[in-house]
Chain A
Amino acid sequence: MHFAIPSRAGDSSLPGSPSFRAKSKSKTYSPSFLSQIYETIVKSESDSLSSFDRKRKSSRRSAISTVLLLAIIVLVTFVVVIYFVAQRLSSVVQASGPSIVLVLGLDGDHYKDDYLQKIVSNRKEYADAQGYGLYVRDVKDFDHRVIDPEKTEWKKLPLLRAAMQDHPGAKFYWYLDQNAIIMNPNLNLEEHILEPKRLNSLVLRDIPIVPPDSTIRTYRHVPADRMKFIISQDHEGLQTSSFILKNEEYSKYVVDAWFDKLYQEYTFAKKDKGALEHLAQWHPTVLSKMAVIPQRTFNSYPNGVGESLYQDGDFVASFIGCESPERNCVREFERLWDNRGRVVVKK
């Protein structure tokens, strides 16, 4: 029998090389013996070759799969890194600008220019020293937004809304009325009020919204880091001449709801303060995020009584209400202006 084993190129070095020829002059082999040998050879050949092949194939396959796996890992890492970098970049872009913005509305119709200039310089000195922003507008700009342009106190709300629009990256907005002086510009607002632990220690819990004995009182257990509206009250009720709003959706909701036409038209005796007290008493979603802090934190009265009386070292001296006949705005202002603290330049 003649066995024709298909030859492969370059395999003469392999064991069981198929260069087997059944012809031999000296011996004749029986067909069964030859077939046995053939089978052995073929089997070993296929075993070894295919095992080698398998190893080659499997090693090739495992090489491919390793490369593929590495490629996938690299791709995923790349995508994740790009995603986080993009997030950081976008958040950096959004957070450009100062983190606290002072909001000031000037009443050019009723006050002299040099007085207004002094007020602005006082705010600017404070803002520059602390790295805060300052947003100043004439309240005449908002005459068309309010129902009755004579009522200046309502104009602080569209002013605040405009400030929120123009400084979307800020974290806090501090509205301080025009008729107030920052007496101690070395106090940092975060340390003095905003830091959650500090705020927690300042928040007055379980006090009536409208002293002395309104039914609705401030919440007892809401933690300070959830508070988004920081305000104080005097013996009459909430005082809207100095308050801080956190830059969150809640603040926009509150300012818009507070500014509603029907509140402006309603005969609140205390006008915008009355409207805010009404909101706080009737709507728990407003009250739950409102922090009432002691008045002398940022709204002392030089002519006040008891808890509200200004003392040396207080942050802000506010002489709102000085337009009433028994008081004199100019004299009160001059006295305070000369005594105000100046920025201590750290060496």
Chain B
Amino acid sequence: MKDKNDFVFSSASPASRVLYRLRRFAARTRQIIVRRRVLVMLFVLVLLYHYLSDSGLPFLPRFHWGSSRFVIILAVNQGGGVMQWKGAKEWAVERTSIANKKAYADRHGYDLAIQDMSIKKRYAHEWRESWEKVDVIRSTMKQYPKAEWFWWLDLHTYIMEPDVSLERHVFNKIENNTYRSLSVYNPMNLPVSLPYVDNTHDINLVVPQDCGGFNLGSFFIRRSEWTDFLLDVWWDPVFYEQRHMQWEHKEQDALEHMYSNQPWIRSGVSFIPQRLVNSFPAGACAEQAGDPRIFYDEKDRDFVVNMAGCEWGRDCFGEMEHFQKLSASLQQQNKKWLPW
């Protein structure tokens, strides 16, 4: 047949026309496989990579060249064993936490900065003690000059859902996922509005609130002029002299003070609902047991658990083990058979 339409529109029977079509389709496919061998091989490789690897990647494999937009700052070695002996359990907790963050960072192509928080002489005699976070963030920003967002994580945290990427979870729709105004949730009863706050200002600090105020165990901070200023004025000797006896949580209280008094801070701070990046286990914030905004919920598959305060009165090792096992079993349920 010179013209394929000749046959299809001829007077042959429908069955033979269908058969003809199928034969042509098979021939065409064989033609593609033979002629476009490279593409077909790539396609097969991608499918194999998805099924055989444990990466849970989206359809295309991710290659990570250059530096990432996100840096995870993991604070380890809190105290450095100076005030308290670090036994086998403490070391185990540290190993688990670090391995968890490493796996997460590798999966998504983020950078991981593991920062040592041992007690240093320059913070001795309470001078700037507990303001080390600020210095660490500043030095990490210098180490990663191209990164935009820095995610601070305390040691006693565990990323429960490693498939969740930060872009999709928070940053692609940052205005929707976070709230700027305390009228939404104000556990510390800070003043709700101040004059001269600019709500169109870029968001440079994303911080969750727990039952006792701002929680700096898991928060995001962005490289900007605002951030430079904040990291500079966060510790001030006049503030320190007047308030450090009252401020139990030092830099957290300093931030809350500045947030209540200085409008420029409000312009750049946005709050994220606690359970998006900072769920608590049942032991923390125990007075608020049952509050749906605070505690880790397995059914909702919360992203990160922050075992805040486990070193005072609770069992860090036990909690870390529990969440590690829980996360592993949840990931088992996760395995889908289609790549999309």
- Which stretch, A10-18, A248-256, A316-324, A334-342, touches the partner chain B? A248-256
Q: Is the CB of A260 within 8 A of B264?
A: no
Q: In the assembled complex, which residues on chain A have CB atoms less than 8 Å from the CB atom of B309?
A: none
Bound form: Cα–Cα A309–B282 in Å: 70
Q: Is the CB of B233 within 8 A of A249?
A: no
Q: Is the CB of A257 within 8 A of B196?
A: no
Q: Is the CB of A266 within 8 A of B264?
A: no
Bound form: Cα–Cα A284–B138 in Å: 14
Q: Is the CB of A282 within 8 A of B237?
A: yes
Q: Of residues B195, B229, B237, B263, which shows the largest number of chain A Cβ atoms within 10 Å of its Cβ?
A: B229
- CB of A278 within 8 Å of the partner chain: yes
Min Cβ gap A147→B in Å is 11
Q: Is the CB of B238 within 8 A of A278?
A: yes
Min Cβ gap B267→A in Å is 8
Q: Which of B250-304 contact A (CB under 8 A)?
A: 257-258, 261-265
Bound form: Cα–Cα A303–B243 in Å: 41
Q: Is the CB of A253 within 8 A of B264?
A: yes
- CB of B226 within 8 Å of the partner chain: yes
Bound form: Cα–Cα A164–B263 in Å: 13
Min Cβ gap B324→A in Å is 42
Q: Which of A54-86 contact B (CB under 8 A)?
A: none
Q: Of residues B226, B257, B261, which shows the largest number of chain A Cβ atoms within 10 Å of its Cβ?
A: B261
- CB of B232 within 8 Å of the partner chain: yes
Q: Of residues A165, A249, A263, A286, which shows the largest number of chain B Cβ atoms within 10 Å of its Cβ?
A: A249
Q: Is the CB of A283 within 8 A of B232?
A: yes
Q: Is the CB of B264 within 8 A of A257?
A: yes
Q: In the assembled complex, which residues on chain B have CB atoms less than 8 Å from the CB atom of A259?
A: 262
A275-310 vs B: 1/0 string, CB under 8 Å?
000100011111000000000000000000000000
- CB of A262 within 8 Å of the partner chain: yes
Q: In the assembled complex, which residues on chain B have CB atoms less than 8 Å from the CB atom of A265?
A: 242
Q: Is the CB of B263 within 8 A of A262?
A: no
- CB of A88 within 8 Å of the partner chain: no
Min Cβ gap A32→B in Å is 23
Q: In the assembled complex, which residues on chain B have CB atoms less than 8 Å from the CB atom of A43?
A: none
- CB of B236 within 8 Å of the partner chain: yes
Main secondary structure of the interface of A (DSSP, over half): helix
Bound form: Cα–Cα A285–B138 in Å: 13
B108-149 vs A: 1/0 string, CB under 8 Å?
000000000000000000000000000000000000000000
Q: Which of A224-242 contact B (CB under 8 A)?
A: none
Q: Is the CB of B233 within 8 A of A283?
A: yes
Which of A161, A164, A165, A285 contacts B232, CB < 8 Å? A285
Bound form: Cα–Cα A140–B263 in Å: 21
The size class of the interface chain B forms with chain A is 20 to 34
Bound form: Cα–Cα A285–B257 in Å: 20
Which of A250, A257, A278, A286 contacts B262, CB < 8 Å? A257
Q: In the assembled complex, which residues on chain B have CB atoms less than 8 Å from the CB atom of A263?
A: 238
Q: Is the CB of A161 within 8 A of B196?
A: yes
Q: Is the CB of B232 within 8 A of A249?
A: no
- CB of A261 within 8 Å of the partner chain: yes
Which of A165, A252, A262, A284 contacts B238, CB < 8 Å? A262
Q: In the assembled complex, which residues on chain A have CB atoms less than 8 Å from the CB atom of B262?
A: 256-257, 259-260
Nearest A residue to B240 by beta-carbon distance? A262
Bound form: Cα–Cα A165–B201 in Å: 14
Bound form: Cα–Cα A266–B257 in Å: 15
Q: Is the CB of A285 within 8 A of B239?
A: no
Q: Is the CB of B236 within 8 A of A165?
A: no
- CB of B228 within 8 Å of the partner chain: yes
- CB of B3 within 8 Å of the partner chain: no
Whether A165 touches B196, Cβ cut-off 8 Å, given contacts A253-B264, A260-B258, A262-B242, is yes
Min Cβ gap A300→B in Å is 32
Q: In the assembled complex, which residues on chain A have CB atoms less than 8 Å from the CB atom of B237?
A: 282
- CB of B6 within 8 Å of the partner chain: no
Q: Of residues A252, A278, A284, which shows the largest number of chain B Cβ atoms within 10 Å of its Cβ?
A: A252
Q: Is the CB of B238 within 8 A of A253?
A: no
Which of A164, A250, A283, A284 contacts B225, CB < 8 Å? A250
Bound form: Cα–Cα A250–B233 in Å: 13
Q: In the assembled complex, which residues on chain B have CB atoms less than 8 Å from the CB atom of A260?
A: 239, 258, 261-262
Bound form: Cα–Cα A252–B268 in Å: 12
Q: In the assembled complex, which residues on chain B have CB atoms less than 8 Å from the CB atom of A286?
A: 232
Q: In the assembled complex, which residues on chain B have CB atoms less than 8 Å from the CB atom of A284?
A: 232
Min Cβ gap B134→A in Å is 12
Whether A249 touches B261, Cβ cut-off 8 Å, given contacts A282-B237, A283-B233, is no
Which of B195, B243, B264 contacts A262, CB < 8 Å? B243
Q: In the assembled complex, which residues on chain A have CB atoms less than 8 Å from the CB atom of B264?
A: 249, 252-253, 256-257
Min Cβ gap B340→A in Å is 33
Residue ranges of A at the interface with B (Cβ–Cβ < 8 Å) = 161, 164-165, 249-250, 252-253, 256-257, 259-263, 265-266, 278, 282-286
8 extra A-B contacts, CB within 8 A, seeds A256-B262, A260-B239, A286-B232 = A165-B196, A249-B201, A249-B226, A257-B233, A257-B262, A257-B264, A260-B258, A285-B233
Can you report 7 residue pairs joining A to B where beta carbons are below 8 Å apart?
A: A249-B225, A250-B229, A252-B196, A253-B264, A257-B264, A266-B242, A283-B232
